[in-house]
Amino acid sequence: MPRRAISYGRQTIEEDDIKAVVAALRSDFLTQGPLVSEFEELIKAHTGAKYAVACSSGTAALHIAHLASGIGKGDKVITSPITFLASANAALYTGASPVFADIDPNTFNIDPAEIEKKIRYNSPVKAIVPVHFAGLPADMESVRVIAKKHGAVVIEDACHALGASWKDSRGAVHRVGSCSHSDMTVFSFHPVKAITTCEGGAVTTNDKRLYERLKRLRTHGVTKDEVEFELPSDGPWYYEMQEPGFNYRLPDVNAALGISQIKKLERFVSRRAEIASLYSAMLSKHQFVRMQAESEGRSSAWHLYSVRIPFEELGASKADWFSMMRSIGIHPQVHYIPVHLQPYYRRAFGYGPGDFPRAEAMYAEEVSLPIYPGLTDEEAGAVVAGLVSTLACASAARGAVRPRAAM
Ligand SMILES: *Cc1c(COP(=O)(O)O)cnc(C)c1O
């Protein structure tokens, strides 16, 4: 009997999530209201940050985080080429230019040594935006040191990493989102992420002034708080627009889902971690598969289970393999096409192949295997069995010797 296709990621919606959303629909508030504040309180409690601003998407959250940092026309912002487009596009929206720093080929995260190199040729750099790839925290201690030295703001793109944590060199544990080594941290609540609000995102910070500005930018650049007024108030209806802002609000209906979901975060992340260990145990028998290096003390949120397979060495076409996997009902994904290779980035900034060799080598090899809380152990087993058999076929199809390790 054909089973449902196993996709690389999937939301987990339970009966109580549905009840929470229905109750919100019957309430007086549909757009931003008391549930958004309640959701923000829970984000603060989970991350340990002083302030949280919920937004309509992770992309919106990245955009206002950039604006609140004062990033604008002519500025340069460093991020990883191995990320979702939005990490780099946020700089574009403000008129700034994204500058990429190549990855560490083992952790798949931005390499601090590469950031240093890029700053040397692009000084001044206004901000560094590390991405916690697949949920594995980037080297925040090094990023912080570099940023301090060069007067750059740090915005963590933690869209993969709600629920992750890491240990510093003194042994203290930091939750991603606490902003202990950054100015702001951005999350996404897209359905494939750790928890979902359908569309949604948030910024956390410990800086009151950034917090006030983020709130203004989320809603048209308007404030109703009289301590912030530039002009004398005309009366109780008075409000002021102090800069061009947006409508980036999260609806209360979506916040209701977020509240219900964030209470399950620990359960969701531990199930993801279980699946990851299962994959790692099964794949350790197939030595041609390279897993993301687990760094000492860094605890991943396992948004992705990302591996590298040397297709070329195995004489297999990645595209053929990918299609074969889909034909047996397993839908892996590729994270990511390096951002600098996108037509727009080539055109606008003159980037091209060869500019970030480690990112490009990763792109040739990377595949993300299905991982989400609802994936069963049996399905994970089927994914690995499918991977091994299709890989053997894909390399045989090329007329190559079947990979010995895959048989
Ligand atoms: C998902 C994601 C975003 C954007 O989040 P949306 O909520 O989809 O706008 C940004 N950066 C990274 C790394 C992501 O994975």
Q: How far apart are CA 113 and CA 48, in angstroms?
A: 29
DSSP alpha helix (H) spans, 123-207: 140-150
CA 55 to chain centre: 15
pLDDT given at position 395: 84
pLDDT at residue 396, rounded to an integer: 81
- Where does 206-251 show beta strands of DSSP type E? 222-223, 240-241
What lies within 8 Å, CB to CB, of 149 at 6+ separation is: none
Q: What is the pLDDT of residue 391?
A: 92
Which helix (H) or strand (E) segment is 25 a member of?
helix 15-25
Question: Which H or E element spans position 392?
Answer: helix 377-397
Model confidence pLDDT, tens digit, residues 98-138? 999 999 999 999 999 999 999 999 989 999 999 999 999 99
The pLDDT value recorded for residue 295 is 78
Task: Tell the residue number behind the tokens 């991982």, with chain if given.
Answer: 371
Question: Counting atoms of ligand 1 from 1, which one is nearest the CA of 199?
Answer: 7
Which amino acid belongs to residue 143?
V
353 C-beta neighbours (distance < 10 Å), count:
11
Mutate to test the pocket of ligand 1, among 62, 64, 84, 89 (most ligand atoms within 8 A of CB): 84
Cα 65 from Cα 156, distance rounded (Å): 10
Q: Which two tokens stand for residue 353?
A: 């192949």
For residue 383 and ligand 1, the question of a CB distance below 6 A is answered with: no
Which atom of ligand 1 approaches the CA of 189 most closely?
7
Would you give the end-to-end CA distance of the chain in angstroms? 26
- Is-contact 256 21, C-beta < 8 A? yes
What is the total residue count of the chain? Answer: 407
**What interhelical angle do 265-283 and 377-397 show, nearest 10?**
40
Chain-centroid distance of CA 236 in Å reads: 41
pTM here is 0.96
Q: Which of 59, 89, 110, 371 to mutate to test the pocket of ligand 1 (most atoms within 8 A of CB)?
A: 59
CA of 87 to the centre of ligand 1 (A): 7
How would you label 233-261 residue by residue, b for 16+ Cβ within 10 Å and e otherwise? eeeeeeebebeebbebbbbbbbbbbbbbb
What is the location of CATH 3.90.1150.10 in the chain?
265-406
Ligand 1 atom closest to the Cα of residue 160 is: 15
Query: pLDDT tens digits, residue range 232-279?
Result: 999 999 999 999 999 999 999 999 999 999 999 999 999 999 999 999
- What is the CATH superfamily name and number for domain 265-406? Aspartate Aminotransferase, domain 1 (3.90.1150.10)
pLDDT block averages, 10 residues each, the chain of length 407: 80 98 97 97 98 98 98 97 98 98 97 97 95 98 98 98 97 98 98 98 98 97 94 96 97 98 98 98 94 91 98 94 96 98 98 98 98 97 96 78 48
| Atom of ligand 1 at shortest range from CA of 83 | 13
User: What CATH number should be reported for the domain whose range is 6-262?
Assistant: 3.40.640.10
For residue 222, the model assigns a pLDDT of 97
